[in-house]
Amino acid sequence: MKRYTINLWLLLLIAMIAFGCKEDKLAPLEKSGNPPGTVSNVVVKSGPGKAQLSYTLPDDKDLLYVKAVYALANGTQMEVKSSYYDNTLTVEGFGDTNEHEVKLYAVNRSEVASAPVSVMIKPEENPIWGVFRSLKASPDFGGLKVIANNPALADLAIEILVESQGKYTPTTRNIYTSAADIDVSARGMDTIPFNFAITIRDRWLNYSDTLFTTITPFYETAIPKSGYKAVKLPTDVDLHTATALTGLWDGDLDGWPRVLMTSSAVLTPQWITFDIGKSALLSRIVIWDYPEYLNGRTYFYGGNLLDFEIWGSDNPPSDGSFTNWVKLGTFRSQKPSKSAYGVNTNDDIAIGQAGLNYTFDLGTPKVRYLRIKSIKNWQGTTFMSIGELQVYGDPR
């Protein structure tokens, strides 16, 4: 009897496993072959490269969603869905201002669609065209500078192609941005003339016209850190007792105390001064913020620079004033994820570890001494916590 009981339990276990291993098949929760009614009273509101459709839902208790089906000019078939809780949806991705047909279907819980309701939409101009009309390209240190206006805050790619053996070929220097005021440099190029082709693309693969231009990049090199020296002028802020200015160029990006931290007791704008060892026409500075110990290491936090200025001089006055100094740039640190204070995404960490690039204004004179002026840090006060920096330019 005991053996019979054990065998019975074994058979039940095998049956349960076999039942659990059967392939699951997704299917509608309800089965009805009757299509729902159609949407009605469709109103079209055009927008840049898109249109919003509002409508009256059919009076069907098993209605699940409404979908719009349409095609883009490049042949891509699009489908957008909106649940029965809402009575609007947006169709987007249009690269022109022509009329386009959109078909609206009501779909029930059995995934049965209604008869289509056809509407014609006429989108406004895609943002790529306004950005293209404002597009300007000019020489920059080690590459080219691209400037444009993007008031719609559209997610765009600025594709940069370069002529090689009579053909324009893609580069790895494309610019991806949704900024309102685009001001970006593509670097890493030799100081010889390049024939560029620049075009604007959105995420639906709509392209603007092409800007053709010939640009010769300015010479740029890293100013050797071996020549950097600490300077203390009368108005410079005091430092945290455990750190020194030399922590800015000792090659250690984030190891305490081989970093710079200034006095947290000073709540007004504060600054530090240092010597880069030689007079140079400066192009940019890379700053590695010191990551505080919070949930691991956290960037865009505490004394990391948020709003700040960088000044340069070839002959700073001994009284510590800003006489004989020229402002090289006014900057604001940008957190890639725009997440909450104290929260870092993988992108935030990667950008922080790579260092933040800040480009100086073109046309400034040669300087040897730099002054970093903190207006506000990420904490909302003014003390600075910087792990490392590197200055670039032309010292010839």
Residue type, 310: I
Instruction: Compute the radius of gyration of the chain from its Cα atoms.
Output: 30
Residue type, 312: G
Q: 1 versus 264: which is more confidently predicted?
A: 264
First to last CA, the chain: 99
Which token pair is 74? 């490049």
- Whether the CA torsion 274, 276, 279, 283 is positive or negative: it is negative
Which pLDDT value is given to residue 1?
A: 43
In this predicted structure, the answer to whether residue 118 has a pLDDT above a threshold of 60 is yes
Which pLDDT value is given to residue 337?
A: 85
DSSP line for 11-74 = HHHHHHHHHHTSPP----SS---PPPPPPEEEEEEEEBTEEEEEEEPP--TTEEEEEEEEE-TT
In this predicted structure, the answer to whether residue 221 has a pLDDT above a threshold of 80 is yes
Residue type, 171: T
- Residues whose CB is less than 8 angstroms from the CB of residue 377 and which lie 6 or more positions away in sequence, other chains included: 302, 303, 304, 305, 306, 383, 384, 385
Q: What is the percentage of the chain residues whose pLDDT exceeds 90?
A: 82
- Residues whose CB is less than 8 angstroms from the CB of residue 250 and which lie 6 or more positions away in sequence, other chains included: 258, 388
Catalogue all structural domains in the chain, each as residue range(s) with its CATH number.
Answer: 40-121 (2.60.40.10), 127-215 (2.60.40.10), 221-394 (2.60.120.260)
Which pLDDT value is given to residue 362?
A: 82
pLDDT interval class at 7 (50, 70, 90): low
Helix (H, G, I), strand (E, B) or coil at 110: coil
Are 280 and 395 in contact by the 8 Å Cβ rule? The answer is: yes
The C-alpha atoms of residue 53 and residue 96 are separated, in whole angstroms, by: 18
pLDDT interval class at 3 (50, 70, 90): very low
Mean pLDDT of all residues belonging to the chain: 91
pLDDT interval class at 17 (50, 70, 90): low
The C-alpha atoms of residue 354 and residue 259 are separated, in whole angstroms, by: 16
Cis peptide upstream of residue 35 (ω within 30 degrees of 0):
no
pLDDT interval class at 13 (50, 70, 90): low
Average pLDDT over residues 253-271: 96
Pairing of strands 326-332, 305-313: antiparallel
Least-confidence region, from 21-25, 290-294, 344-348, 390-394: 21-25
Which pLDDT value is given to residue 180?
A: 87
Which pLDDT value is given to residue 29?
A: 54
Average pLDDT over residues 134-147: 93
Q: What is the DSSP letter of 246?
A: G
List pLDDT tens digits, range 32-49.
Answer: 678 999 999 999 999 999
- Residues whose CB is less than 8 angstroms from the CB of residue 285 and which lie 6 or more positions away in sequence, other chains included: 310, 357, 358, 360, 370, 389, 390, 391, 392
pTM to 2 decimal places: 0.72
List pLDDT tens digits, range 66-88.
Answer: 999 999 998 999 999 999 999 99
Are 372 and 248 in contact by the 8 Å Cβ rule? The answer is: no
Which pLDDT value is given to residue 20?
A: 52
Helix (H, G, I), strand (E, B) or coil at 383: coil
List pLDDT tens digits, range 271-300.
Answer: 999 999 999 999 999 999 999 998 889 999
